[in-house]
Structure 1
């Protein structure tokens, strides 16, 4: 009887050992599930600080000097000075590829006459040209991230100041003219752009950006008591370079 009990005990022990071995082997074959690391949320905001060259193309501007055809278009035109200013832009990414960009900057330009009005200083005006574009960003080139965009611009002209300086105007009969009462109207315009960011790390990068604006405001002034009016074809190129920060 005792021998039988001892044999049953040995069988039970052996069964426990075999069962443990099988369970351990099956457990070793099962995939190990580990908790995935948390995914950091992507911040959609980006800012850039650029040095911006504003390069107007005033060819095609019209000039109408009341009662003096020889001083009017096509004999006369306008020239608008180039300018370099700091500029800030703010971008919001709706997806990895689609973003909206708003640029903010202020420029001040000198306006002079050309043709029959050559050497006539007309005055200066300050431009606030916020421009909103919708962009497509290409993200399959690694750190190099080119983009294209199109949008609208609304330019506010303020702090207009006529030159109010006598200047000799050449012509059939040389005269001395003075410009007063300069006014430039606010204006909507279209915009297109292309550029790229080159990301140095997750947050910082370098940016090059080129925009073309179609901007043609109406203006009025008085030249030696004669009303002058027309349309200024400013149509500037905006060429910028600077730094990018992606939040």
Structure 2
């Protein structure tokens, strides 16, 4: 393929995408949310392991490739949880769970702009304080699903309601032998404010 032809194809592709990008002249969206973390706590170790539910802060940044297609990175700081066996506290740990999602945003109706997302979560467990000889896998990779809606309060300010289901799982071992798996798999319901720029 000649250089002029290749250049022409690239130019045509950029010209085709340009109107979609320019139609939404503020491609960045920042949000802060208060999120209720409700853990599924499915345990196959036989120890009835569970971690506590809590409300956590969440920060996310989205970039819109087109008015309808965006990528969102969800962040927080390491969250501390109490680990229990049944109702008995046996230790604690922290988890850092960044999540990357690809989203489709539907066209706005009466100020409401719903969206759906799917992506991947990576969780790193740290500051693990468990009974002697008990250990967990420090890394978890899983799927994440999302549904939410932004409501325009003004031109660049949005009220946000967001629901995510995330796979967070870790293998539990004692004296080097695997006992089973703890599936935290939280449901995350958040409310917050977003700003476009």
- Separation in 2, partners of 1:41, 1:233: 40
Indicate if the aligned counterparts of 1:218 and 1:231 stay in contact, CA closer than 8 A. Answer: yes
Question: TM (normalized to structure 1)?
Answer: 0.66
Does the CA contact (< 8 Å) of 1:161 and 1:181 recur in 2? Answer: no
Structure 2 regions of 5+ residues with no counterpart?
1-21
Of 26, 48, 67 in structure 2, the residue corresponding to residue 43 of structure 1 is: 26
1:55 is matched with which residue?
38
- Tell me if structure 2 keeps the 8 A contact 1:123–1:182: no
RMSD: 2.1
Distance in 1 (CA, whole Å) between partners of 2:142 and 2:24 is 37
User: Which protein is richer in strand relative to its size?
Assistant: 2
* 1:40 Cα offset (Å): 9.2
User: Which structure is larger by alpha-carbon Rg, 1 or 2?
Assistant: 1
Query: Where does structure 1 lack aligned partners over 5 or more consecutive residues?
Result: 1-38, 64-72, 163-178
| 1:215 corresponds to | 168
Match of residue 92 from structure 2: 124
Show CA shifts across 1:185-228 (max 9, x none). 21100000001010111111100100001222112356xxx977
Give 2:144's aligned residue.
Answer: 191
Question: How many aligned residue pairs are there?
Answer: 174
| Larger relative contact order (CA 8 Å, sep ≥ 6) | 2
* 1:113 to 1:151, Cα distance in 2 relative to 1, 3 A: same
Correspondence 1:153 to 2:121 = yes
Name the counterpart of 2:62. Answer: 91
The 3-state SS of whatever aligns with 2:132 is strand
